[in-house]
Each structure stands twice: as structure tokens, then as C-alpha cells.
Structure 1
Amino acid sequence: MDLHQHLRLMADYHVWALDRLYQPIDTLDDSDYFRDCGQFFGSIHGTLNHLLLVEHLWQARLRHEVFPAAGLDQQLEPDRDRLKQRLREFALGWRPFVDGMSAAQLAGDLAYRSMQGDAFKLPFASLVLHVFNHATHHRGQASIGLVQMGRTAPVMDLPYFLNDLPPEQLHGG
């Protein structure tokens, strides 16, 4: 499997894992969903809102654009149903984005600025992988919030996703 195939696979996994995470989240009442669980961004909603914000930030950077954000805890979507819809739409958008990447783009670097204005130049493909890794981190935090509420966290490990794929897709097809 080459890097481009791996990124396609990770884009598909990203959607699958988000859908898995939302199965138990959708059963929460608002008091639990919005309750401060002591996570980086407070509640499960705060964590998922942060995930949406960072996906916007990175996709803009990867497109050589700027997504204006006041902070990593900026509320993008206060409505829980709309947040779910926006997260899923954004997750679904990564596959066409990855499909459109050229080999030269994947092999190159990305120059961008942090939210504080610091300049960076890092490997483009590594930053795309970072988006998926970052989402995994925060899906894990949301899972801990579920467990703290006495709920069962969903299984979202990559091998389970791979086991769900048809054999011809296992190598990024």
C-alpha cells in the first residue's frame, strides 16, 4: 500500500469511527451531553466542537487558506444535531480531498502559520495524517466521557474497521 492509498483508507476510517462514536452519544440526554466531564474542552459537545474547529483549521491550511479562529475552544456549533451533521459532512469531505492530492503535493512540504502567527514548514502528507490522528485522540476523550457516565464506549480500533472492509479495499482501493 502506498502513502496515497493509506491516506484514502484513513479518510474512510475517519468517517467509520465517527459514526461508531455517535451511536452511544446519540443516546445521551442533553444534561449528560453538555456536562463538563473534565476533558480538555469540558463536555462531549465541547470536545466534538473542537474536533470540527481543528478539521476546518487544517483543511484550510492544506488548501493554502486561512480559517479565522479565536481559539481552540471557540464554539462553532452550539446545536448538537447540527454539530453532528457538520462533523459527518466534514469527515466525508476528506476522501475527495485526499483523492485530489497529487504525488508531488504528497511528497512536498506545507508552509503555514499557527494560530499564534508562528511560521512552520512541515511534510504535507504527515500533516494530513495528523488530522486523522488528532481526531482519534479526541474520539478517545469523548469515549472516556461516555465511560464516566456509565455508558459503554464504542470499539473504534482500526483493525475492526479493516475487518469490515471487502478484501479488495484492504489495500486502499
Structure 2
Amino acid sequence: MDKKMLLIMAEYNIWATRRLIQSLESIRDEDFYKDVGLYFKSIAGTLNHLLVGEHYLWYSRFKAGISQTIALDTMIHTEKEALLNELQQKSVNWISFIDQIDETTLEGNLTYKRVSGQELTLPYVATLMHVFNHGTHHRGQITAAVTALGYPCPELDVVYMLIE
């Protein structure tokens, strides 16, 4: 995979995060925090998981080689606006990071420690793609929950970003 495709995925991540956040701003707090049966229970819990996974764990591993010890269900923010703001602000970090990666790094491996302390070595590009795929997975869960709660949801398919 070339860097151009990684940049498209990073741009998609920003775009989909922004669109999702815009739709979540109108959701009542009781629905935002309600246990709706998601793996991380609520919309707020799932968004906090995205923040932890994408930015506190994976970004630190890729950018600085640091594996932080933080539980995947940590509630970084209990206040809706702060959570949505941090997700949006941090999503743009991936663009400048990917811009700076050289081809040798992309062709190599990433060694990191899991939250459990286990050390793993995985293909760099495939692991970076996991970060973006993971975000897509959880945004899909959130949009299903939002729809079930009776709220409208945005289209988040990549093609809609490309059309825009």
C-alpha cells in the first residue's frame, strides 16, 4: 500500500468523525449516555473507547514508540462536548504523521506492547490500516444505535467523502 492510500484513509477518518460528531450534537444527553447494548455500552462509552484506542494507544505507539497503560473502557471525558471536541481535534494528527513516514518504515514492522504487557511485532502498514478500520467499525456501531434511538444518521461511506 502506498502512502497516498494511507492519506486517503486518514482523510476519511477525519471526515467521518466530523460528520458523526455533527449528528451527535443534537442527541439528548440521556440517550448519549444510555446503555444501548454496544460493546462499550453507550454512545459515550464507545466514543471514549475510540479516543483511547485511536489516540492514546495507537497514535502513541506509532508516533513515539510508547505503549501507554490505559484500559480500553476508560472514560476520558464524561462531558459530551469535551469528548466530541477532543475526538475531532485529534483526528487530524494522523495526516501530518503519515506525511512524515518514509517508505522503509512503511515496509517494516511495528513492535509495541499491548495493554496486557505482551510485546507484539506486526506489519506496519497493516497495523496502521487496523487503526482506521477500527474507527469505521465503532462508528458503524454508533450509527446503528443512533438510528435505533430514532435519530437521523449521516452516510459515512468512503464514496460520499470522495463525492464531496
Q: What TM-score does the superposition give when structure 2 sets the normalisation length?
A: 0.95
Q: CA offsets per residue over residues 40-94 of structure 1, 9 Å max, x none? A: 111101000000000120111113112220x210111111111111101110111
Shift of 1:152: 2.1
Aligned-partner residue type, residue 109 of structure 1: N
**Number of residue equivalences:** 162
Counterparts of residues 1-173 of structure 1 (less than 5 Å): 3-55=2-54, 56-62=56-62, 63-69=64-70, 71-164=71-164
Does the Cα contact within 8 Å between 2:27 and 2:151 map onto a contact in 1? no
Code of the aligned partner of 1:86: E
SS at match of 2:120: strand
CA distance in 2, matches of 1:75, 1:46: 7
Gap regions ≥5 residues in structure 1 = 165-173
CA distance in 2: counterparts of 1:100 and 1:86, whole angstroms: 23
Question: Distance between the aligned counterparts of 2:77 and 2:100, measured in 1?
Answer: 28
Structure 2 SS opposite 1:110: strand
What is the percentage of aligned positions where both structures have the same residue? Answer: 35
Please give the alpha-carbon distance, in whole angstroms, between the structure 2 residues aligned to 1:49 and 1:43.
10
Aligned partner of residue 98 in structure 2, secondary structure: helix
Matched AA of 1:10: M
Gaps of 5+ in 2: none
RMSD (CA atoms):
1.0
| Larger relative contact order, structure 1 or 2 (CA cutoff 8 Å, min sep 6) | 1
Give the TM-score taking structure 1 as reference length. 0.90
Residue 23 of structure 1, CA deviation: 2.2
Segments ≥4 residues shifted beyond 6 Å: none
CA drift of 1:134 comes to: 0.3
**Which amino acid is 1:65 matched to?**
I
